[in-house]
Amino acid sequence: MPSVFETSPNAIPITFVTKSSWDQVAETLPPAQRQFATANGFAAKPGGYLALPAADGTISQVLFGLEDEAARSRDLFRPGALPGLLPSGIYRFANAPHDARLAALAFALGCYRFARYRKADRPDVRLVPPAGVDAAEISRIADAAMLARDLINTPSNDMGPEELAAAAQALASEFGASFACTIGEDLETNFPLIHAVGMASNRAPRLIDISWGDPGHPKVTLVGKGVCFDTGGLDLKPSSGMLIMKKDMGGAANVLALARMVMDAKLKVRLRVLIPAVENAVAGNAFRPLDIFTSRKGITVEIGNTDAEGRLVLADALALADEEKPDLLIDLGTLTGAARVALGPDLPPFYTNDETLAADVARCAAKENDPLWRMPLWPPYDAWLDSKTATITNAPSGGFAGSIICALFLQRFVENAKSWLHVDIYGWTPSAKPARPEGGECQAARAIYTLLSERYA
């Protein structure tokens, strides 16, 4: 996307105000503008907006309300509402918001529009980068986030396994990365779980494999769930549960966004990206409850529920990744409703047994306003995965600790990686917020990119 940042000596100032600072700011305004603000009832409420006219009728400055410093909670992306409010033009921050870097990022993210099927003009507004803010880095992050949003927002008829692979190949080509793809029946021997989940669809499943960077650098492998549509399989979802299942490849979309950031920043890593891309469909050859498959790792898996398919495709991909003994293995997936019940759509849980990694992830998530919350890989629950006829089941009976059980299932397929991080994302914003329009969302990728930047810049 074209850069939202531009320098100009005539940029229109945006003055951030809070309820506690408004009286002081109002005193600095010319009497006519102060009266204009009073007549329009401007009270510096969070999200409150007012363009003040100059004597010639142009915009003299913009007032925009933020939460007070002492507020119980502050939306650091509040300035992301501005692109949808401002007339065309170039703007600058006249004073400091709560966090100038995050405000600039929010401004860029707030310019996003999904316009593939319906005209949706991008706001014709640009921002002079705040002092000390790296505009190139902000643009890098925003562009990647918009890639994730576009991929998730695209409906499944235009975003099946083949189209997802094409998007991954285009990204690989852009940055000179290698690209390989194992398709259809070629998966059956070496990736039987991926094949089982995808075999009922007339759109062949595939395993996408991208490699980039100096082989001598630390190995970082990203694995993303790419279920391009999830009917639930023979354990069919109700229509309400299927409604936004185009987003079930959100893990893959966010892994590609993260890979874009890493490659564009030229981080000193040997990056590998693995995406099992499938459609969980219903047909006469669909995999069934109580079927048993031998995974790539040799673990036999009994199918307790065909709607717990994401962990199956991730398992084979994680097993492949683990064979290379990466320094850091990360998987992202839209995996469990249990995570949403526990933490809601905005706060994905993450799992790791690496205490240093856990602390770094939590810190970077807070720093980037990309919230994540650690959940435990609780060993006593591991026995719940036991099966009477196979090594493990993919979905034990009972509704307890669903997200933890999924994480424990995936842990069975990771033993050689030096560190492993699993994130159970939602990948969707149910109702619009500043900088976060309703629809597909980039989750966890910004926080993890910051972590990788700190370790491998």
User: Once rounded to an integer, what is the mean pLDDT over residues 86-93?
Assistant: 98
High-pLDDT (> 90) share of the chain, %: 97
Q: Is the pLDDT of residue 14 over 80?
A: yes
Name the average pLDDT for the chain: 97
Give the 3-state secondary structure of 160-186.
CHHHHHHHHHHHHHHCCCEEEEEEHHH
Could you tell me the two tokens for 228? 């391009």
Q: Of 399 and 330, which is predicted with more confidence? A: 330
Q: Is residue 159 helix, strand or coil?
A: coil
Q: Is residue 44 helix, strand or coil?
A: coil
Could you tell me the two tokens for 354? 């690496």
High-pLDDT (> 70) share of the chain, %: 100
Residues 152-206 pLDDT 10s: 999 999 999 999 999 999 999 999 999 999 999 999 999 999 999 999 999 999 9
Alpha carbons 73 and 87: distance in angstroms, whole number = 29
Please identify every residue annotated as catalytic.
237, 311
Alpha carbons 434 and 329: distance in angstroms, whole number = 32
Residues 388-409 pLDDT 10s: 999 999 999 988 999 999 999 9
Q: Is the pLDDT of residue 3 over 90?
A: no
Tell me the whole-structure pTM to 2 decimals: 0.97
Residues 21-48 pLDDT 10s: 999 999 999 999 999 999 999 999 999 9
Residue corresponding to tokens 């003299």:
60
Alpha carbons 322 and 415: distance in angstroms, whole number = 7
Instruction: Show the domains of the chain with their CATH numbers.
Output: 12-133 (3.40.220.10), 144-456 (3.40.630.10)
- Residue 1 banded pLDDT, cuts 50, 70, 90: low
Q: How far is CA 314 from CA 37, 292, 409, in A?
A: 56, 17, 10
Could you tell me the two tokens for 371? 């919230």
Rounded-to-10 torsion of CA 436, 138, 445, 145: 50
